[in-house]
Structure 1
Amino acid sequence: MKITKTSFTNYWQSEAGPFPAYAAALPRQARCLVIGGGYTGLSSALHLAPRQQGIVVIEAQQLGEGASGRNGGQVIPGLKLGPQALRERFGERRAEPLIRAAYGAADRVFELIREHAIDCSARQNGWLLATHSPAALATQAQRAAERREVGADMHLLDAVEVRRLIGSAAYVGGVFDPRGGMLQPLRYLHGLAGAAQALGVSIHEKVRALSLSRSGGRWTVVTSAGEIQAEQVLIATNAYSDNLLPGLRQTHVPLWSLQAATEPLPAALLERILPGDLPVSDSFRVLRYFRRSDDGRLLLGTRGAFTDRVGAGDAQRVAREMLSIFPALAGTALSHCWSGRIAVPASQIPMLHRPQPGLTVALGYYGRGVAMATLMGSFVADLIDGLPEQESIYPVTPYRPLPGAALHRTVARVTANALRLRDIIERRLLDTTP
C-alpha cells in the first residue's frame, strides 16, 4: 500500500469540518462542574440539564481531541464481562438491572441521536465480531449463548456468511449483534454538546482544571481561566487523566489505539471490501476493528505504540493489517493515520466512584466508550441529582488507585508485544493448515 502521501491527522476531524464556538467567559459559580468534555462529561450534562440549572463543562483541549473524537465510531452493546461474571461480582440483585442496562447501551445512543436530531451518519445496522480460528469461534459461541439468555439476540455465523459480509476469507465465522451500529464519533460528540447547550449547559474549551479543594460544603476548582466554585464536581477525563485528584492516573492502565484510513475506494473495490457495510471487530488477542466511511474509505484500527505520536512506521503497520484481511487493497494509498488512548481498568468494566461528598469520578471503558460512556452519563446524572449510591443501577465502587501503577504500565507494554507475537505465529499456522 502507498503511504508516502499519508497525512498524520485524524480522519474524523478532516471529515467533520469546523464546529461552532462554545461559551467564552468561565462563570465563577456552578451547581455542577464537569471536568472533561468527552462522551461521559457531555452525556452527564445532557441527562442532568432537564433537572438542574448551573451546569458547566470544561475541556482542557478542544472537544474531540481525546478519545471521543478519535475512536472507530463503533457502537457496541454490553460490557467486556459477561452476565455470569457480573452476577458473581455484584450478586444477583445488583447485577440483573446492570446487565439489562448495559445491553441496552447501544439503543440509548441511537435514541439520543433521534431525540436531538444529531447529524452524525448514525446507522444501527448491527455489529460483527469476526473469529479467526475454530477455537475462537467456539469461545464466542458460548459467550453469545450466555448473552442470549438475557435477551441479546446474537446470531452465530459460519465462514460463508462472514465472507459474504466482509469480503474476506480471513475468518472462519463470527457473531452478529443487531443492536450495534456505527456513527461519525466526532460529529456525535458535538451533537451531544449542542443538545446540552440548548438545555442551558455552559461549555468551555481550552480550560484546564489545575487543582480542586473542598471547604464549607463546596468545591473550589482552580483552572487556567480562573477559579470556579461548585456544589458538585464530576471528573470525566478517562485515559487523558492527570493527577488532579490524587491517584487518578493510577486508577487505570492507558493503552493506545492506532488507526488509518485509505483514500476513497473505487466502485469496483467497494463491491468487494465490506459489502455488508458493517462495523467489524475480530477475535485476535491484539484485535483489529474496521468499517467503511460514508465517502467509501476503509478505516482500520489496532493496538498502537504507547505514544500519541504517529509516523511512517505506524502507517506501515496498519497497512500490513489491512492487506492481511483485504489483499485487493494492494496499491491503495492511505490518507490519514492517527492514534488515541484507551483506559483499561483493573476491574475490566467502567469505574464509577464517589471518593468524597459532592465528587464523582467516571472512566475506564476498555474500548467500548461510545455506548457505555453515553450510558454512564445517565447513571452519573442520577447520582448528582441525589439518588442514593445503593440505588444506582451502575455499582458505585471504592476509589482505589492501582498499587504499583507504573509497573502495570510496563507489564502492559510487554504483554501487548507478547500477544502480538502470538497472533503472528497463530496466523502463520492457520495459513499453513490444510
Structure 2
Amino acid sequence: MRAVAFFLFISLISHPSAFAQKWVNLFNGKDLSGWHQLNGKAKYEVVKGEIVGTTVFKEPNSFMVTDKDYGDFILELEFKLDAAMNSGIQFRSESKSDYRDGRVHGYQMEIDPSARAWTGGIYDEARRDWLYTLEYNAGAKTAYKQGDWNKARIECIGPVMRVWINGIPTANLVDGLTPKGFIALQVHAIDKPEAAGQTIRWRNIRILTEGIKASPPDDIFVVNLQPNSLSDQEKKNNWSLLWDGQTTRGWRGAYKDQFPSKGWNIKDGTLVVQKSQGAESENGGDIVTEAEYGAFDLQFEFRLTEGANSGLKYFVTESEENKGSAIGLEYQVLDDEKHPDAKMGVVGNRTLGSLYDLIPSLKIKRGQHAIGEWNSGRIIVYPDNRVEHWLNGYKVVEYQRGSPTYSALVARSKYAKWENFGMAKKGHILLQDHGDEVAFRSIKIKSLE
C-alpha cells in the first residue's frame, strides 16, 4: 500500500495539471454567500438547494451578481423556467457608476422560451444589443427544453466565447471589448401585473479557472468582431480573408489591371472609399476581387457616413461595358434617412440590405445600426442558386437566381437590357465607389461549391 501511495504521489507532482483541473462551486446550496443583488428588486432566495428568482411588477431587470470577477473560465450550471419568461446569465459583465448609473451591462447567455427560440445566443445587455442570434445557428433552436432542467456551459478563453445548451453548441463569439467581469443570474423585468410571481431556478453552479483547455472546434457559424481576423474555428471551417486588412493584395480597379491610384485609402485596418462628388465611379472607381466566385458565404463590415451611398456587388463579369459602376447583383449599402435613392425604385428596393432595384429588405429596427457605427453584412449564395442577404444577424432578403419570380423582377428593372443579368456561373466581388465616404473591413469568404 505504501508503494502504491508513493507512486500516486510521484504521478501527481509530475503532472501539475492534475491539481489545476479543479472546479469551484459558486453556490453552496444553502445561502447567497459570495453573491449580491444589483439594479432591480426581484426576489432571490435559496429553496431546497436551488437559487430561485421571482419576478416583481414594475421592477427593472434584476441581477444576482458574483462578488468576484472572472476573465478566462468555464462555467457550468443548470436552470429551469417554471413559466415562459425571458431570462439570462451574465458573464464578463460590469456595473459602473459612470455608466448609466450602475446599470449592469455586458455579455449575456440568453434564456428565451419564446417562439423564436434563441436560448444559448449571446446578447450584449444594456450596450450593443444582439451579438449572436440563433438565426446564425438555427439547428440549435431545439437544444433548450421548456419545463425541464437544462445544462448550460459557457467557455471564455481569451476573446473566444462559446456556449452549449444540453451539450449542443449554440453560439461562438470572438470579441475583446470586455475581457473580465462578474457572473450574474438575471430576473427579467415584466410589463404586466399578471406576470408577477413567475420563477426561474438555478443549481449546480460551478466554475473552472485554472488548467483550462478549450473544447475542440465544431462547425457552427462564428461571429468574429475582431477586425480582419480569423479564429481557429473559422480556419477549421474553411473561411479565408478576402481582404488582408493592410494592403491592396487580391483587388484591382473594375475594368483595370491595377488598384486605383486615388479615391481609396487604407487606414487603421479599414478600406475606405473617399468622398468626391457623390457620383458613380468618377473618382477612384469601383474595385473588384482578382478572383471569381460561384457559390459562397461572404461576410463584411461597413460603416456609413451621413447621407452616404455604396454597395457590394457579386457575380460581376465586367462584360457589360457599362460607363458607370460595373454591373452585378448588389447588396445595397445606404443611409436610408438621408440619401434620396432610398425613396426611389419600387417599395423600398433601393434601401439598406436590399437586392438593389429588385427586392426590398426586411426592415428590423434593432437590426440596423446608427450612422457612424459598424454594421455586419452577409451574403450566402447556395449551389442551387438560392441567395440570402443578412444584416446584423437578421436575414433580410431571400430569392433564387433564375426562378420565374427573379426573371420577372429583372424584366421590370434597370437591368432588363442586359441578357441573363446576374446569372453568371462565377463572378468578381465588387466594392462600389459612389462618391461618398464608406469604410469596409473584415471581408471574408467561404466557398460552398
* Structure in which a larger fraction of residues adopt helix: 1
* Structure in which a larger fraction of residues adopt strand: 2
Higher relative contact order (CA 8 A, sep 6+): 1
TM-score > 0.5 by shorter chain: no
Q: TM-score, normalised by structure 1?
A: 0.20
Q: Work out which of the two has the higher radius of gyration on C-alpha atoms and give 1 or 2.
A: 2
Q: TM-score, normalised by structure 2?
A: 0.20
